[in-house]
Amino acid sequence: MAHDLIDNNNKSPLLKQHKEKHFTSGEVVRDVIIGVSDGLTVPFALAAGLSGANASSSIILTAGIAEVAAGSISMGLGGYLAAKSEADHYMRELKREQEEIVSVPDTEAAEIEEILSQYGIQPNEYGPVVNALRENPQAWLDFMMKFELGLEKPDPKRALHSALTIAIAYIVGGFVPLAPYMFIPIARKAVLASVAVTIMALLVFGYAKGHFTGNKPVGSAIQTALIGVVASAVAFGMAKLVQL
């Protein structure tokens, strides 16, 4: 069993024949969800609020585009900083683990044995694994980062990709509720079209989000649409109250 932890080349025929399909783009989907959900909701609420204040379609459209521009930059920057913080945390822990492997190797070896015991490996099987890791410092370091700290090496381009994905998703989502104002000059009519188009988009987006995240798609669709409707209704109502 210890040998199998180090050498994965000798797989059984069943494992060679069996191909599992897993969804491996979780980070990208998460960024798209963050960007589109805010892009649909915030400009939708803003447009509804300005409509409640009897603003013209041109003013609503101008304010909406400005919000989408500012929001995409803000959200993209937030995504960049979050991914950058994760990468910085990984590098700090990597440096600390490298120092410990050099300065207190016996303690680190004892930690390996403790980790192996959690996987049901017997004490008499510790030796080959520990010795193999001692002979390969990089493998030892990778083992400790993954199994002791639960950290995976981040993609160096992850921060930039996250920022761009969130920003673009926000822009795409943001123009959905604003689109009717581009073609309907009367705000009272445009807001009705905006509500219909955005609710439909929220339902589709919520369904897709539920599908990719493993939740119930129908429930996710209803929840997502409800949040958008409540946000826009509150904004519309607040604008009406201010006018009184």
Q: Position of tokens 């520990």?
A: 130
Examine the pLDDT at 42 and tell me if it is beyond 80. yes
Q: What total of structural domains would you count in the chain? A: 1
Q: Position of tokens 């998703």?
A: 169
Which contiguous run of DSSP H or E holds residue 219?
Answer: helix 217-243
Number of residues written out for the chain: 244
Residue 147's domain comprises 28-243
The radius of gyration of the chain from alpha carbons, rounded to an integer in Å, stands at 26
- Has residue 14 been placed in a domain? no
Kindly state the average pLDDT of the residues 49-62: 85
Would you say 221 and 206 are in contact if contact means Cβ atoms under 8 Å apart? yes
- Has residue 225 been placed in a domain? yes
- Has residue 125 been placed in a domain? yes
List of residues 6+ apart from 80 with CB closer than 8 A = 159, 160, 162, 163
Examine the pLDDT at 92 and tell me if it is beyond 50. yes
165 or 3: which carries more pLDDT confidence? 165
Q: What is the pLDDT of residues 170-220, one digit of tens each?
A: 999 999 989 999 998 888 888 889 888 988 888 888 888 787 777 788 888
pLDDT of residue 206: 84
- Has residue 18 been placed in a domain? no
pLDDT of residue 140: 78
Q: Measured between alpha carbons, how far is 126 from 1 in angstroms, rounded to an integer? A: 10
Q: What is the pLDDT of residues 225-234, one digit of tens each?
A: 888 778 777 7
- Has residue 12 been placed in a domain? no
pLDDT, averaged across the chain: 79
- For the chain, the maximum distance between any two Cα atoms, rounded to a whole number of angstroms, is 80
Q: What is the pLDDT of residues 123-167, one digit of tens each?
A: 666 777 777 777 777 887 887 888 778 878 888 788 899 999 999
- Has residue 3 been placed in a domain? no
9 or 80: which carries more pLDDT confidence? 80
Of the candidates 167, 152, 155, which has an alpha carbon nearest to the alpha carbon of residue 31? 167
pLDDT of residue 179: 92
Would you say 46 and 236 are in contact if contact means Cβ atoms under 8 Å apart? no
Question: Is 157 buried (19+), middle (13-18) or exposed (0-12) by CB count in 10 A?
Answer: exposed
- Has residue 189 been placed in a domain? yes
Structure tokens at 172: 């795409």
Q: Measured between alpha carbons, how far is 166 from 33 in angstroms, rounded to an integer? A: 8
- Has residue 19 been placed in a domain? no
